[in-house]
Structure 1
Amino acid sequence: MSRLGTLGARLYRGEVGYDFVAKRKIWYGVSILITITAIVGLAVQGLNLGIEFKGGAVFTTPKTSVSVSQAQTYAKEASGHEAIVQKLGSGGLRIQVSELNQTEANKVSKQLSEDLKVPMENAEIVGPSWGEQIANKAWTGLAVFMLLVVIYLAIAFEWRMAIAALVALVHDLTITIGIYALVGFEVTPGTVIGLLTILGYSLYDTVVVFDGLKEGSKDITKQTRYTYSEIANRSLNGTLVRSINTTVVALLPVAGLLFIGGGVLGAGMLNDISLSLFVGLAAGAYSSIFIATPLVADLKEREPQMKALKKRVLAKRAKAAAEGASAEDSGEPVDSVTGDVAPAGAVVGPRGNRGRGRPSGRRR
């Protein structure tokens, strides 16, 4: 078994682990800071809406040696508007100029052919109403999706988990949209598709952890060994390696699209969907670990039953610690695992009371 597999098995059995839930205030603070940064970037910078949302003309050229910056200058001089130029994989250019009608587009196309010394392959006119319809349908789909998710999680698990999952989804969407505003990538219908796609990925890890938490917290009030937060943390650690593996495997091809396809090969049209997927997948993995589960524990710990359980658990531990201290003062052997006084002749320490405490005196 690999080291990662061994670590995963030990995490699942609770032999090792990191207390994510106990440090939830730190994660909340980090998440709030990131979210505020994204919102400020969105408010100040704004989104770079594609031509599908603003309307205008799209020109494409065959293979040319003209650089992107030169083409932007030519397009701005010919149209009087800012232009967005993308290098195509074939070596051609895709030039977008907003706020042009058919007559103006024909004039710009003729001028660009002279400046770039290549014929324009086509000039496509896009109206802003088409992009507006896409946006409206996307918002409707998002609202329906959120509602169905809340209803399903409330039925399959409980309403606290539904609220936590909803908060995590809003967190992921806000960060992704804020990143788009900060880096200035163009927002196209492909971006909208990417945003809707990441919602499923964001929920995947969250639901896996919630399922383990539901199973682990069954009949929780009948024991006095763990609090709800501790069981939530054990469930989170048990699925941690699985979450990391699935996220890394999903991020690798998306990173290839974003950094190799969009960056190295110059296929700029890949950026609109690949950035939303890349940021959304990373944010979804983060929110599942650091937001959703700690938030569920926070909400559950406010219940009277969970408060009473926590009080009993802490009281039992305090009693065991006091008895252990008294035994140490009296010189009696103390089991280092449970803190209880060990029977006479028993072997104390990590092995507990095995071996010599048995009548035969032999280990089995």
Structure 2
Amino acid sequence: MSKLGNIGARLHRGEISYDFIGHRKLWYGISILITITAIVGLAVRGLNMGIDFQGGAVFTTGKHMSVSVSQAQETAEEAAGHEALVQKLGDGSLRIQIAGMDTKQSDSVKETLAEDFKVNPESIAADLVGPSWGEQIANKAWQGLAIFMVLVVIYLAIAFEWRMAIAALIALIHDITITVGIYALVGFEVTPGTVIGLLTILGYSLYDTVVVFDSLKEQTKDLTKQSRFTYSDVANRSINSTLVRSINTTVVALLPVAGLLFIGGGFLGAGTLNDISLSLFVGLAAGAYSSIFIATPLVADLKELEPQMKALRKRVLAKRAQADAEEENAAARGYDRQGDADGYDGDDDPDDAAAAVVGPRSRSASRSRGRGRPSGKRR
């Protein structure tokens, strides 16, 4: 842990860094590949919409049922004539969801379930959900998402600049697309809890992005007045300086969500937690990724298109080329001086050169006479 802390401190001070901006084409390619996979999964498999969105009936049995989930599902599907979703709750009761049912069909299925489960029909609660209510929920969710996006773009354009607002918007769309695509691929049910999770991750996604943007804004003040760094250089330094902070906040946020998803939903079988925990888990991870590998590199690409930044890049590259040439000349002069000191200038015979390097250099008698005298003069 101390080594990780030391690395984080060195990243923050700029002593070490990783070239995120220089490898941005790789990150873009990975993101495009993941996004295409998510879109294909969404188009082929589609979303498993919950009963709240497509309407139907929900049956809840009494506590401590001895009937297994598979047996209850088989009974419910035979009674309803189509697919049913059965979940075992923490108190031992069963929650059975059957889509596309009216009141008459619901009463018939309820009696069949009570007969097969050998319980009183009154102990099974039946709730009907109309499809119009689910449609209202979906419309409100889309409206809330659209309003959120507009407000985010306006705020970032005012607080930072429009290029950062565009980059943040693209990163948000990237995160939502990946999350929805994974829901389609794994087949988890989409419920109002899923919508809440999707809207929640937008804030987490923006948090890391705004942290990097704030550092970038601070470090690019009066950037065009110098000739040492380009905008991409400063953007890369901003990512590195906030990298450990972004990782720490993401890991801390992911740990409890992972507990809900893998332990609560997977190990303990509390399936009602899956709808919101999966959206939070995938969204948090995608948001941390996009803030580092998508949003900031996009800002750098957009800024480098400005005439001022193009001129700055030209000056910086010219200065670096001049510095490299001077360094090469200095190294060449140093090599020549070393060659003269060894008695070899590169044009002599190789055997003579080897003798000059290996053997001791002979001194003339006249130069040796003054050795050992204070003045070193000959008498």
TM-score (norm 2): 0.86
Q: Does 1:203 align with 2:206?
A: yes
Kindly state the Cα deviation for residue 91 of structure 1 after the two structures are TM-superposed: 1.6
Kindly state the Cα deviation for residue 153 of structure 1 after the two structures are TM-superposed: 0.4
Kindly state the Cα deviation for residue 65 of structure 1 after the two structures are TM-superposed: 2.8
The match for 1:27 is 27
Q: Given that residues 114 and 124 in structure 2 are in contact (C-alpha distance below 8 angstroms), is that contact kept between their aligned partners in structure 1?
A: no
Structure 2 residue aligned with 1:134, among 137, 162, 169?
Answer: 137
Please tell me the residue identity of whatever aligns with 1:82. Answer: E
The match for 2:15 is 15
Q: Given that residues 4 and 241 in structure 1 are in contact (C-alpha distance below 8 angstroms), is that contact kept between their aligned partners in structure 2?
A: no
CA distance in structure 2 between the partners assigned to 1:117 and 1:164 by the alignment:
60
Q: Does 1:40 align with 2:13?
A: no
Q: Given that residues 64 and 118 in structure 1 are in contact (C-alpha distance below 8 angstroms), is that contact kept between their aligned partners in structure 2?
A: no
The match for 2:259 is 256
- Which digits, 9 at most, give the CA deviation of each residue in 1:78-107, with x for residues without a partner? 011210111111122110001111111111
Q: Does 1:239 align with 2:242?
A: yes
Please tell me the residue identity of whatever aligns with 2:287. Answer: G
Q: Secondary structure at the match of 1:59?
A: strand
CA distance in structure 2 between the partners assigned to 1:168 and 1:16 by the alignment:
27
CA distance in structure 2 between the partners assigned to 1:65 and 1:284 by the alignment:
43
- Which digits, 9 at most, give the CA deviation of each residue in 1:4-60, with x for residues without a partner? 222111101111111111100000000000000000000110000000111110001
The match for 1:79 is 80
| Long gaps (5+) in structure 2 | 337-379
Structure 1 residue aligned with 2:180, among 177, 182, 191?
Answer: 177
Kindly state the Cα deviation for residue 332 of structure 1 after the two structures are TM-superposed: 8.2
CA distance in structure 2 between the partners assigned to 1:261 and 1:240 by the alignment:
30
Q: Given that residues 86 and 93 in structure 1 are in contact (C-alpha distance below 8 angstroms), is that contact kept between their aligned partners in structure 2?
A: yes
Please tell me the residue identity of whatever aligns with 2:306. Answer: E
- The equivalences for 1:212-231 within 5 A come to 212-231=215-234
The match for 1:314 is 317
Kindly state the Cα deviation for residue 274 of structure 1 after the two structures are TM-superposed: 0.5
The match for 2:340 is none
User: Compared with structure 1, are the counterparts of its residues 279 and 81 closer, same or farther at alpha carbon in structure 2 (3 Å cutoff)?
Assistant: same
| Long gaps (5+) in structure 1 | 334-364
The match for 1:123 is 126
Q: Secondary structure at the match of 2:238?
A: helix
Kindly state the Cα deviation for residue 303 of structure 1 after the two structures are TM-superposed: 0.8
Identity of matched residues, % = 77
Q: Secondary structure at the match of 1:331?
A: helix
The match for 1:338 is none
Query: Which structure has the bigger radius of gyration?
Result: 2
CA distance in structure 2 between the partners assigned to 1:254 and 1:166 by the alignment:
25
The match for 2:89 is 88
TM-score (norm 1): 0.90
Please tell me the residue identity of whatever aligns with 1:97. Answer: I
CA distance in structure 2 between the partners assigned to 1:168 and 1:60 by the alignment:
41
Kindly state the Cα deviation for residue 185 of structure 1 after the two structures are TM-superposed: 0.4
Q: Does 1:191 align with 2:194?
A: yes
CA distance in structure 2 between the partners assigned to 1:110 and 1:185 by the alignment:
29
CA distance in structure 2 between the partners assigned to 1:276 and 1:282 by the alignment:
10
Larger relative helix fraction: 2
Q: Given that residues 61 and 118 in structure 1 are in contact (C-alpha distance below 8 angstroms), is that contact kept between their aligned partners in structure 2?
A: no
After TM superposition, which residue ranges in structure 1, 4 or more long, deviate above 3 angstroms? none
Please give the root-mean-square deviation of Cα atoms over the aligned residues, in Å.
1.3
Kindly state the Cα deviation for residue 117 of structure 1 after the two structures are TM-superposed: 2.6
Kindly state the Cα deviation for residue 71 of structure 1 after the two structures are TM-superposed: 1.4
- The equivalences for 1:132-171 within 5 A come to 132-171=135-174
CA distance in structure 1 between the partners assigned to 2:243 and 2:22 by the alignment:
16
Q: Does 1:102 align with 2:106?
A: no
Kindly state the Cα deviation for residue 132 of structure 1 after the two structures are TM-superposed: 0.9
- Which digits, 9 at most, give the CA deviation of each residue in 1:236-277, with x for residues without a partner? 000000000000000000011111111111111111101000
CA distance in structure 1 between the partners assigned to 2:171 and 2:111 by the alignment:
50
Moved more, 147-156 or 118-127: 118-127
Kindly state the Cα deviation for residue 113 of structure 1 after the two structures are TM-superposed: 1.2
CA distance in structure 2 between the partners assigned to 1:235 and 1:65 by the alignment:
59
